[in-house]
Amino acid sequence: MTTERARISLSVAPAYTGSELLAVMSARLLKEGQTVFAGVGIPLLAAILAQKTHAPGLTILFEGGVIGPFVEAGKLPPSTNEQRCSRRANMLVSITEVLLLLQRGYVDVGFMGGAQIDRFGNLNSSFIGDAENPKIRLPGTGGGNDIASLADMIVAMKHEKRRFVEKVDFITSPGFIDGGDTRAQAGLPAGGMFRVVTDLGILGFEAESRAMTVVALHPGVSAADIKANTGFELPVPDDVEVTPAPTPTELAILRELDPEQLYTA
């Protein structure tokens, strides 16, 4: 075992990167007609991939106030406030207005990542360590807390024990808080964590306890592999599904979108 991640042995090297795998598996979770809050990077790639494959009526929202854009292949925006975000958009509104749409229930899915996640889906993107003397300061919430508080969430991140922890150092974006009905008790009756997509598998949450569980494993990954790279007890059903590998069509679209591999290397 390495210091950060248990080794996973694959008989044949995959024809795609871990980031491409994250984007493809995330895209497959999105549905036709949904409205999705997407950040740059893997979330945006996944949303565009879904638009170009099975969900042409998917509407993308950017925190900067852009509604319904169609981002040009090879010209991915570096932030949600950049002009390339607005190509062929239906509307350009203020940040306040786009977040009010979220508050009113017009957003189906929020898409984000984080530095840490715990067994109940709480995300930390604020700092690592003690609040008074953190080891690392992170970007913070942006609109992450708003989105996680009001929409169903899909989280995409690499699967490492240092990221999947028993308890996050700080709750930037709430999942199911302490499990059970504690999210609703905290004043958040809507939304919650739907899926966590990693380079090892797809994770969901039990209906009553709201604890994380494995929904599917990616090709070549075993139950032992995913447990070894998780910092808490993670149930894996005996009959757990295996995800279909990314198709040549999905990979071709991704590589056209990000030819320089800014986000998929």
133: which 2 tokens? 């003397």
262, part of any domain: no
pLDDT at 5: 59
pLDDT at 168: 97
11, part of any domain: no
| Tens-digit pLDDT profile for residues 152-165 | 999 999 999 999 99
Of residues 126 and 112, which shows the higher confidence score?
A: 126
7, part of any domain: no
**Is residue 63 flagged as an active site residue?**
yes
pLDDT at 203: 98
- Model confidence at 212, pLDDT cuts 50, 70, 90, reads very high
95, part of any domain: yes
pLDDT at 122: 97
pLDDT at 257 over 70: yes
CATH number for position 143: 3.40.1080.10
Average pLDDT value for residue range 73-96: 89
Structural domain for 221, as ranges: 18-256
pLDDT at 2: 46
pLDDT at 143: 85
Of residues 2 and 153, which shows the higher confidence score?
A: 153
Average pLDDT value for residue range 166-174: 96
154, part of any domain: yes
Instruction: Say how many domains are in the chain.
Output: 1
pLDDT at 3 over 50: no
Report the relative pairing of strands 91-92 and 66-67 from DSSP bridges. antiparallel
- C-alpha to C-alpha distance for 8 and 250, rounded to whole angstroms: 24
pLDDT at 13: 52
Average pLDDT value for residue range 89-113: 93
How far is Cα of residue 242 from the mean position of the Cα atoms in its chain? 19
Given the residues 4, 20, 63, 166, select the one marked as catalytic: 63
202, part of any domain: yes
Would you list the DSSP string of the chain?
--SSS-----SS--SS-HHHHHHHHHHHH--TT-EEEE-TTHHHHHHHHHHHTT-TT-EEEETTTEES--PPTT---SSTTSGGGGTT-SEE--HHHHHHHHHTT---EEEE--SEE-TT--EE-SEEE-SSSEEEE----TTHHHHHHHSEEEEE----TTTB-SS-SS-SB-SSTTSTTHHHHTT--S-EEEEEE-SSEEEEE-TTT--EEEEEE-TT--HHHHHHT-SS-----TT-EEPPPPPHHHHHHHHHH-TT-TTT-
- Model confidence at 200, pLDDT cuts 50, 70, 90, reads very high
71, part of any domain: yes
| Tens-digit pLDDT profile for residues 7-63 | 554 544 569 999 999 999 999 999 999 999 998 899 999 999 999 999 999 999 998
261, part of any domain: no
pLDDT at 64: 87
| Tens-digit pLDDT profile for residues 219-244 | 999 999 999 999 999 999 999 999 99
pLDDT at 4 over 70: no
pLDDT at 1: 42
